Amino acid sequence: MQHVRVKPMMPPGHVRTPHYLRGKIGVIERSLGAFPNPEDLAYGHAAPALPLYRVRFRLGDIWGEDTPHPDDTLDAEIYDHWLEPADAP
């Protein structure tokens, strides 16, 4: 399992990465292939194909251990440029 952290970037404009996942650690569930970057497409710019991953997060790691069902998971599709290697939580 490859652990990754969602970069805590706050760029202006159209962003597809949910704010509540920024800075959080998850595991890559699978690679989905390469697709045009929607952050560029939104402004009519040329959009290079970037790797897209399905990343799995524990709800307790997102919302805190007091959340109902902290061991349930949430999957999000996140582009490579938003991810960095991370140690297991």
Q: What secondary structure letter does DSSP report for 47?
A: -
Quick one: pLDDT at residue 71? 97
> pLDDT tens across 31-88, in order?
999 999 988 888 888 999 999 999 999 999 999 999 999 999 999 999 999 999 998 7
Q: What structural domains and CATH numbers belong to the chain?
A: 3-85 (2.30.30.50)
Q: Which of 78, 1, 83 is nearest to 32 (CA)?
A: 78
Question: What is this structure's pTM?
Answer: 0.91
